[in-house]
Amino acid sequence: MRAGCTNVCARPNCGQLKTMTTEQSSLRQIASERMAGLAWAGAGIGVLAALVTVWTNPLAALFAAALGASLAWAATRTSASRRFQPVARNDIVIVGLRDLAPLLEALPDSALLIDVEGRVAGSNAAARRELQFEAAGLFLSSILRHPALLDAVQAAYDGATRTVEYDTADQVEQHIRCYVAPVLWGDEKAALIVFHDQTSRVNTERMRADFLANASHELRTPVASLTLLIETLRGHARDNPEEREHFLGMMQVQADRMRRLIDDLLSLSRIELDEHVPPTDRADLNQVAREVTDVMHSTAKERGVTLNTIDATGPARVVGDRFQLSQVVQNLVDNAIKYSPNGGHVNVHVGHAASREDAIQAAGRRWDEAGRIALLTPASAPNRAYVYVRVEDSGPGVARRYLPRLGERFFRVEREEGAERGGTGLGLAIVKHIINRHRGGLIVESQPGKGSAFIAFVEAAAD
């Protein structure tokens, strides 16, 4: 092997690339320099001997000159070979399977390298963040418990490439597609797993299908009403000004209902599209609640309802989207005003809680015999504080059997009881999806004849 060249070690179970060391290169260089010096010295002695003996012994002078020329030629060749000899490097590169881990950091998606023992030999920051682990050498089965994916890893050791899809069972559902491929490095085998988050694509497809199904179903009633009213106006009501104005007013009501329905459907679709991505902004829930109640005071006054606001002590900063949190408070307050009788009251209370359990407890039980259910419960986490907003009304309340269905699309209690109030049935669904995106909690408490209370809480922002 030429000096400075590298080759792959042929010994079994070796993952090293070996190079000529600096010590070997230095010894050869010293020997080469000494040979060149001796050759030049011999050449000089031969020339000197030839000059001394040229007049006394021409044959000996010729021999000495030939010997000096030969030694000079050898010295030139030695110097040339030394001049063009590559300089050996001092680094010995060791590339084992686990040393390939830094290459995974260049991948934009989450990636894991699994050895034949089923342990994590390498990972990138995206994988550690998404799968919530830090230590290397963990068994894959302790991080992911999807049989199809574990089977694909075993198949990769035999050279098979597979694609596996699975859904997570967290608070917010995610759709993941995994590409599992074999990796051969010397005599070592491994499986490379690359995770692709398909949640946005799946949600978009589902949102499109749900939107068409829901819109066609809910728009059918106002469209049918508008058609009937138009036929009536073309008939006997055409020449009757009073009836014409009456039916035109009814048409306006149905048109407004369609507009609100379309606006709510579009809003819900936008929220669902990003529901798997938690917000990172900051907002003050005190300010949000105060701004909403300031706007809603005129509506409450028109209905003869008193609207009260109780702020939290000190700032109530949370991790959240300010606009979406405003939607939450506005929808809850709007529902509370709509269901409260003339002379009733609506209370909006913002407060702090040191933990998830404290947030549930702080929401309080207003009525002794009230039904109570958690529509959303965040995952338990140590040292995580919350800020909650409680909106309480003095309306007719909700029967216990209907509580689990609150938050369903288009579900309205009054429809079930035959007392339609004209809402879209999407307000609580929007609230539920926004709180779900914020990884928060939503609790409802109600007692027929007394009133209802909705409590939403989200993570408090660190100081």
Q: Per residue in 385-407, is it b (16+ CB within 10 Å) or e — as a string?
A: bbbbbbbbbbbbbbeeebbeebb
Kindly report, residue by residue over 35-92, the tens digit of the pLDDT.
Answer: 655 555 555 555 555 555 555 555 555 555 555 556 555 555 555 454 444 444 445 4
| CB neighbour list of residue 382: distance below 8 Å, 6 or more residues apart | none
Q: How confident is the model at residue 1 (pLDDT cuts 50, 70, 90)?
A: very low
What is the enclosing helix (H) or strand (E) of 186?
none
Among the ranges given (20-29, 171-180, 316-325), the one the predictor scored with the smallest mean pLDDT: 20-29
Residue 25 CB coordination number (10 Å): 19
Residues making up the chain, counted from first to last: 463
Residues 177 and 243: their CA atoms lie apart, in Å, by 61
Contact 411, 362 (CB under 8 A): no
Q: How confident is the model at residue 246 (pLDDT cuts 50, 70, 90)?
A: confident
pLDDT for 21 beyond 70: no
pLDDT value of position 210: 67
pLDDT for 22 beyond 50: no
Q: What is the mean pLDDT of the chain?
A: 77
Reported pTM? 0.56
* CA–centroid distance for 76 within its chain: 68
| CB neighbour list of residue 260: distance below 8 Å, 6 or more residues apart | 424
Contact 348, 333 (CB under 8 A): yes
Residues 30 and 421: their CA atoms lie apart, in Å, by 101
pLDDT for 332 beyond 50: yes
Contact 97, 184 (CB under 8 A): no
What average pLDDT does this structure show over 226-247?
82
Residues 94 and 11: their CA atoms lie apart, in Å, by 14
Residues 66 and 345: their CA atoms lie apart, in Å, by 123
Cα–Cα nearest to 180, from 169, 196, 201: 196
pLDDT value of position 442: 93
Residues 2 and 449: their CA atoms lie apart, in Å, by 96
pLDDT value of position 63: 55
